[in-house]
Amino acid sequence: MTGQTANVHKKTVIFDMDGLMFDSERLCIRAYDYAGEKYGVGKLGYLVLETLGMNHAASQPIWKKYLGENYDAAGIRRYVDEFYEDFHKNSKMPVKKGLYRLVEYLSTHGYDMAVASSTSTKTVIANLEEAQIRQYFKVVIGGDQLKASKPAPDIYLMACECLGRSPSECYALEDSRNGVLSASSAGCMTIMVPDIWQPDDEFLNHVHKKFEDLDEVRDYFTKLDMEDSE
């Protein structure tokens, strides 16, 4: 892991969403498996794995590589929407372990928080509102707000600018390869909480800290705050 350290403990945290705050990536794989089979091309969840952390525009070359230049994106999307519509009739987006405890801790201890997600802003806000945590975040940036997708640093640079912080003053919480590369190349202190994709030892050179869940992340910030108060 990197030797990144903060000379002064800065209280700014930028969250990824899918796979970090919500168990949405596994659900997305199920949605595209369903859509592919309904459309007649077989399960497509493997392409979700190939494009974790990317926004829609950035993922398209990969989809075209596997399905052809003129694949029927709209036709497949109709079945994806059908899956989610049925899912939301009886269920909410599953929340990752420790999320509520983490945002409550950060809020009560004076942290500024933002979300920087490759998902559309509308969907990000809908998920935050459904989970009743929208009020914790000063800034919400979705992948539709900028051209360059993760792993480019643009989304984190935008989040830092909106928060009035330099990247070196911000912690970034990420779960995916593309997300970690985006945050670390922006210059944020990147904390990884792996979800579907598991990093090897070499990749951890991009990471400030790695934890198993958001409760461990909360414990880390608790420790930093205690050290600051000594």
220-229 residue pLDDT tens: 999 999 988 7
Q: For residues 79 and 41, give the distance between their C-alpha atoms in angstroms, rounded to a whole number.
A: 12
Residues 100 and 68 in one domain: no
Helix (H, G, I), strand (E, B) or coil at 19: coil
Q: Which pLDDT band holds residue 1 (cuts at 50, 70, 90)?
A: low
Q: How many distinct structural domains can be found in the chain?
A: 2
Residue 3 located in a structural domain: no
Domain boundary among 90, 110, 126: 90
**Residue 2 reports pLDDT greater than 60:** no
Question: What local confidence, expressed as pLDDT, does residue 54 receive?
Answer: 87
Question: What local confidence, expressed as pLDDT, does residue 5 receive?
Answer: 44
Residue 209 located in a structural domain: yes
Residue 49: which domain range? 24-90
Q: How many CB atoms lie within 10 A of CB 20?
A: 27
Residues 83 and 144 in one domain: no
Residues 216 and 200 in one domain: yes
| Amino acid type, 133 | I
Q: What is the pLDDT of residues 200-227, one digit of tens each?
A: 999 999 999 999 999 999 999 999 999 8
**Which pTM was predicted?**
0.89
Q: Sign of dihedral through CA atoms 126, 111, 106, 154?
A: positive
Is residue 113 within 8 Å of 103, Cβ to Cβ? yes
Residue 33 located in a structural domain: yes
| pLDDT above 70: percentage of residues in the chain | 96
